[in-house]
Structure 1
């Protein structure tokens, strides 16, 4: 803009000088010179004004010297000053798809972590970030991205594969967030949010996981079968011991007199229901009672 202003002023001077030499059309040349002069002055004025948008901070640089950061609003500056703007709104850094982070667990298994990091420039530290990187895009490429990748890999390396993709994901995400904030805060980068969205094992690791699951399931089935067989054997042992104890009790309680009385009671009941006559239980050599059926004739 400043160069344009200088060119327009030069054009105004030239038109004015040419107009002086031509009396007939002098007014036209002078009008052109005046318009060029006004346009040059306006261009020069705009070259000395810089507007910093809302949610931005500007870093002025004049002849290699970095000035104080410019907050949002209208600022007057030297026409030789360049202003580099940084957004103070949170910016999303998405580490997924082609940028997914490949990590290794403490066991050597390969995992792929999808992570989103929200970060923003701290306005008071914008000058320091300009010196470190030079632009907002460079801040992400040179500071946020490499530091975040390094921290993510280091955290996963302290955990097993199973913890990485399942049991300790929340803990790992919290560790990553704390370490990223701690690393970037002194540089003027405010990390507002870290989201460990997804962790998936590599193909080789997934095959190992499936094989381990199958082995665990087979072991559980074998353990359950062994437990069932042991319980059944114990049940049968207890049942057999109960039968044996009952038989011993019966054996001790069955004397000849008891058997004789039970025999009498049995034949009495039979005589009530049928026309039979029971000779009382004998004690002959066979111990067999004689039964006479009265319903039959000689």
Structure 2
């Protein structure tokens, strides 16, 4: 719009200069002096340059280029919406209309750390971490990153509400993200908030998707980066974890001792059973046969062992 105004003013100025110079030329009936001729030529040259520049500016204000990943709304000088454009390339418009561009690429909003305020860059934003309260009434700080995108066919609707991209991000996107992140932990206890990050991440994403349904804004991803509870809660949780580890260790040792004792009982039972079986198998015939086998082995080694009937000693005879 500003380019159009400047170009129009230059054209008007050039026309006025031409008219004035032509009027002066008609009033002079005699020959022009050298200074008069020089001044007239300078005026004509200046008017011609202004006219060319005005035409260029007017022509430039009638054409605009749109990048891939952008969508535009065409607005008249009175503020009326003339249409929208979602395809990249060069496009023609009325020179007095304006182009309001919105990015439909994947944008990111990050809330993390202790920044003093939220900064906006196009469709993206960064701000301080979000303070939340769980169902136990304990306050924690959450760092989170949300990626979103705008549906190209909904750019006009978004423009009607917010007029430009910065207002859209500051008044809608960031406010909704903060509100959703604050509400989600209300359904989690302090312990669950610490130990069930995946469930909390899913709850935030589903809630944000429902909140933005029908608005032309799509939730691409939610990344819960860090949960920082009070130091007292962290210390208590660490102590509980250490106690749990100790209990688990002692339980494992007890189970190992029980297993070892059971193994010893089983081994003793097996040995007793084996001895009992052996004792039952040692009949008089078996013992006599073992006696004979032993004498045979001694005789095979070159010795003769004579054991008289009823004699308790051993006599070696060579």
TM range (shorter): 0.5 to 0.7
Asked if the contact 1:100/1:114 (under 8 Å) is kept, the reply is no
- The SS at the match of 1:42 is helix
Deviates more, 1:65-74 or 1:198-207: 198-207
Distance 1:84 1:270, change over 3 A: closer
Q: Distance in 1 between matches of 2:46 and 2:263?
A: 117
Structure-1 residue corresponding to 2:66: 53
Paired with 2:267 and 2:133, the residues of 1 have a C-alpha distance of 57
| 1:36 CA drift (Å) | 7.1
Which of 221, 225, 246 aligns to 1:199? It is 225
Determine the structure 1 residue equivalent to 2:165: 136
Q: Using the alignment, how far apart are the partners of 1:91 and 1:242 within structure 2?
A: 72
Deviations 1:13-63 (A, max 9, x none): 367447645733374476268537735863784597353625331241534
- In structure 2, distance between residues paired with 1:41 and 1:245: 115
Q: Give yes or no for contact 1:16–1:30 (8 Å, CA) kept in 2.
A: no
Distance 1:292 1:47 in 2: 135
2:155 to 126, 135, 141: 126
Q: Deviations over 1:57-94 (max 9, x none)?
A: 1241534x4323332621115x4x5x251235314214
Unpaired runs of 5+ residues, structure 1, are 283-288
Once the two structures are superposed, the pairs formed by residues 233-248 of structure 1 within 5 Å of their partners are: 233-245=261-273
The answer (yes or no) to whether the contact 2:17–2:43 under 8 Å persists in 1 is no
2:82 to 56, 64, 68: 68
Mapping 1:88-237, distance limit 5 Å: 88-95=103-110, 97-98=112-113, 99=127, 101-102=129-130, 110=140, 112-123=142-153, 125-155=154-184, 158=187, 160=192, 161-164=194-197, 169=198, 176-189=204-217, 191=218, 193-196=220-223, 199-202=225-228, 204=231, 211-237=239-265
Deviations 1:131-162 (A, max 9, x none): 32221122112212221233344445545222
Distance 1:243 1:136 in 2: 86
For 1:277, the equivalent position in structure 2 comes to 306
Shift of 1:234: 1.8
Alignment length (residue pairs): 276
Q: 2:17 matched to 1:9?
A: no
Q: Within 2, Cα distance between the matches of 1:105 and 1:147? A: 19
Q: Flag the 1:183–1:163 CA change in 2: closer, same or farther, 3 A.
A: same
Q: TM-score, normalised by structure 2?
A: 0.64
- The alpha carbon displacement at 1:222 in A equals 1.9
Of 131-140 and 263-272, deviating more is: 263-272
**TM-score normalised per structure 1:** 0.67
Q: Which deviates further from its counterpart, 223-232 or 23-32? A: 23-32
Distance 1:76 1:260 in 2: 124
Post-superposition Cα deviations, 1:88-145, rounded to whole Å, max 9, x if no partner, equal 531421416544754666675846444241312534x334322322211221122122
For residues 109 and 244 of structure 1, do their structure 2 counterparts lie closer, same or farther at Cα, with a shift above 3 Å needed? farther
Go from structure 1 to structure 2 and tell me whether the alpha carbon gap of 1:92 and 1:242 turns closer, same or farther (over 3 Å shift): same
1:15–1:33: 8 Å Cα contact kept in structure 2? no
Kindly name which structure, 1 or 2, has the bigger radius of gyration based on alpha carbons: 1
Partner of 1:291 in structure 2? 314
8 Å contact kept, 2:140–2:228 = yes
